[in-house]
Structure 1
Amino acid sequence: MKIGCSQARTFPVTFFYRSAETASSCLRYILINEDFCRKKYPEIFVIAIVHTGPRNFKRRSLIRKTWANREFYKKFKLAVIFAVGEDPQHPSVQATLQREWETYEDIVQFNFTDTYRNLSLKAVSWLNWAAKYCPNAKYILKVDDDMYVNTFSIMRFFRKREALKSSLKAFYCLVWKQMGVQRGEKDQWYVPYEEFNETVYPRYCSGGSYSLTMQAVQPLLNSVEVTPFLWVDDVYITGLLANTANVERIEINSIYESYGERKVFFDIPIVFVHLPGSLNKRYALWKKTLELCKTMDCYN
């Protein structure tokens, strides 16, 4: 089925990226700094790409002050980009977002409505962005904007992987197995049989945060044309596309804490914590991390 670009922007798209022609002709950047990686951060090692909504100004501000502080580029060669869509129901948001971009130049905005149903579209869009504008990075760290990230631990993890001189096409993540498809129409992740006709999903990564090697990006993009679309982004990107592209999923489940902080500073080093709701909890956890670093060598 072929549709125009104007339709693709507003539909919960189930076919937007079915062909390279549609992708290249319809994808537009509303806000972008084309020199972000090439000139601003030419020695970049890890590019963190944060899924965020247009109105989530406070969440982005907290991330810039904590785990993705610009000072970490000097120490770790880490930089952050915020991936957003449009908010056509609140026109004033765009002007505020424009001013935010002018201040930080760390936002890439795409020309489609920012909704749950367009999360896969957002993910494929930033994969395209990374391939074109940030190929000099070694790794991508995808994170939702309600996650706590222990920068020191994750960068230590990346440095160890790099020391192995591996050329893997791989995701590093919390791997879900034998997860059933939600069929209840009131379920948040409801998928009817017509959109996915299996009872369980293939192995896939938890979508709140995962990492991938830059070697995996182009094979994933090449697989878009021949892989049936699914709007559930973690299943689509790290499950269906990964299977088509023969991209490995390497389990690092032990460094994730799904909710809360109960294990962060005990015997298991936790890197990612899902902390929805209060920004204060995320900030307090970050301050706790910095306090811990006063008694440990967090930078090596």
Structure 2
Amino acid sequence: MVEWDKKATKAFEALKEALCSNPVLVVPDFEKEFIVQTDASEVGLGAVLSQELKAITLLYQQRHCVLLGYLIFLSSLLFLCEVPLDPPNQYGSILNMSSPVTLSPWNHNCSSEPPFLVILVTSEPYSFIVRKAIRSTWAKNRVVAGKPVLIIFLLGSFPGSSIQQVALAAEDRVYGDVLQRDFVDSYYNLTLKTLMGLQWVAQACPGASYVFKTDSDVFVNIQRLLPLLLRRATHTHLYTGRVSLEGEPVRNPNSKYYVSKTEFPFDYYPPFCSGTGYVLSMDLVWDILTVSPTVREIKLEDVFIGMCLNTLGVQPSYLSSVQVFYNYMVPFHPCPYSLLVTSHGLRPAQLHWAQKAVERVSRDRCFQEQLADLNVMGEI
């Protein structure tokens, strides 16, 4: 747990005074929420006060003239400059995966050392701070349980902002883990984004054993996931996650998850795993890419993956006798977080807390506490 002490209060007051003393770029609405984003490294310091994705004011102090300092500076400017570009493809079809690749991951060695697990994280072009938090928390270890792990961020394009694309290119030069194609980065293109990631794995890392797809606001406990995968007798024919059986389409047009009768005419979806985190063995990745052009298109990516596998006669399975995939935010406590695989809805600061909690707690002790709780409830 992060403790807010006198030193933290003093630092926050200094930050607040500095931000309030800067020129205002946009007149704020004091009835709406303000967001302060900060970033720091050995080469630079930055802070942005924003509201509804528009910068109100910013601070930047470069300590050393190197690429990462430039990257911090560019990331601070994402919503200040909007220079017209040729607009990216608006909404892509899964039947047309030919949109140009803008950025491609380079920081991997799939040919000589295929990863056991490739993690695909859907992200947005402007979410550098979130990606930085992921890289420094649950995705920081590239070898887990003796097995190589590769993390790739999946992005579309953001219309009308060339400074943002320059920032992304700089970010990719530093980290080499961004895959971006020229289509609008939108919730409604999530199916296309996910298929883009699966296609890249199949082409660049065909020797991988598993692919894990997740979202950028999810805490992933790789130290828990890897042993569960390694204990399987074979590394094929696996589709697992938070299983949904007989999920009903949302017919309310005002809902983010609205699906019309034209898009999906049936009363229930086939069984599928929540898009907050699901595992596919590599053989099923190939099968999905083969069958996907023949499956009815739907914007709900997790449902679409379930539809593809249902066409092949593949149903979701359970990786553990107890639930380990959560599509909501699990209340913060070290033991539950050491035993789960996913918890959904976390902000960057919460990702740091969860990772520290997992690293410090004894998983064996937590297992014993969990068994004792189940025994009391009569479940064992």
Q: Matched residues in 2 for 1:190 and 1:104: separation? A: 36
Q: Matched residues in 1 for 2:197 and 2:159: separation? A: 20
- The answer (yes or no) to whether the contact 2:105–2:152 under 8 Å persists in 1 is no
Q: Matched residues in 1 for 2:355 and 2:332: separation? A: 14
> CA offsets per residue over residues 64-89 of structure 1, 9 Å max, x none?
11111144369431120111110113
Aligned pairs (5 A) from 1:117-128: 117-128=188-199
- Cα–Cα, structure 1 residues 180 and 101, in superposed 2: closer, same or farther, change >3 Å? same
Match of 1:261 in 2: 331
- Cα–Cα, structure 1 residues 294 and 273, in superposed 2: closer, same or farther, change >3 Å? closer
Match of 1:147 in 2: 218
- Cα–Cα, structure 1 residues 74 and 43, in superposed 2: closer, same or farther, change >3 Å? farther
Q: Matched residues in 1 for 2:336 and 2:144: separation? A: 28
- Cα–Cα, structure 1 residues 154 and 94, in superposed 2: closer, same or farther, change >3 Å? same
Aligned pairs (5 A) from 1:182-197: 182-197=250-265
Match of 2:131 in 1: 60
Give 1:101 shift.
0.2
Identity over aligned pairs, percent: 24
Q: Matched residues in 1 for 2:170 and 2:338: separation? A: 41
SS of 1:58's equivalent in the other structure is helix
Match of 1:241 in 2: 308
- The answer (yes or no) to whether the contact 2:145–2:226 under 8 Å persists in 1 is no
TM-score by length of 1: 0.85
2:91 to 4, 12, 16: 12
Matched AA of 2:304: Y
- Cα–Cα, structure 1 residues 149 and 160, in superposed 2: closer, same or farther, change >3 Å? same
Q: Matched residues in 2 for 1:264 and 1:176: separation? A: 27
Match of 2:375 in 1: none
SS of 1:254's equivalent in the other structure is coil
Match of 1:4 in 2: none
Match of 1:32 in 2: 104
- Cα–Cα, structure 1 residues 137 and 260, in superposed 2: closer, same or farther, change >3 Å? same
Greater Cα offset, 123-132 or 28-37: 28-37
Q: Matched residues in 2 for 1:227 and 1:249: separation? A: 18
> CA offsets per residue over residues 8-43 of structure 1, 9 Å max, x none?
953334xx223xxx33xx23211113673425x724
- Cα–Cα, structure 1 residues 37 and 29, in superposed 2: closer, same or farther, change >3 Å? farther
Q: Matched residues in 1 for 2:336 and 2:350: separation? A: 18
Q: Matched residues in 1 for 2:122 and 2:141: separation? A: 18
CA RMSD across the alignment: 2.7
Give 1:165 shift.
2.6
Matched AA of 1:288: A
Q: Matched residues in 1 for 2:165 and 2:103: separation? A: 10
What number of residue pairs does the alignment pair up? 279
- Cα–Cα, structure 1 residues 266 and 63, in superposed 2: closer, same or farther, change >3 Å? closer
TM-score by length of 2: 0.68
Q: Matched residues in 1 for 2:253 and 2:180: separation? A: 31
Greater Cα offset, 265-274 or 179-188: 265-274
SS of 1:250's equivalent in the other structure is coil
Give 1:172 shift.
1.3
Give 1:167 shift.
3.1
- The answer (yes or no) to whether the contact 1:52–1:145 under 8 Å persists in 2 is yes
Structure 2 alignment gaps of length 5 or more? 1-86, 366-380
- Cα–Cα, structure 1 residues 229 and 37, in superposed 2: closer, same or farther, change >3 Å? farther
Matched AA of 2:164: V
Aligned pairs (5 A) from 1:92-241: 92-161=163-232, 164-168=233-237, 170-237=238-305, 239-241=306-308
Greater Cα offset, 140-149 or 63-72: 63-72
- The answer (yes or no) to whether the contact 1:52–1:83 under 8 Å persists in 2 is yes
- Cα–Cα, structure 1 residues 267 and 293, in superposed 2: closer, same or farther, change >3 Å? closer
Structure 1 alignment gaps of length 5 or more? 1-7
Match of 2:3 in 1: none
1:271 to 329, 335, 341: 341
Give 1:262 shift.
5.0
- The answer (yes or no) to whether the contact 1:275–1:281 under 8 Å persists in 2 is no
- The answer (yes or no) to whether the contact 1:54–1:84 under 8 Å persists in 2 is yes
Greater Cα offset, 190-199 or 286-295: 286-295
Give 1:91 shift.
2.4
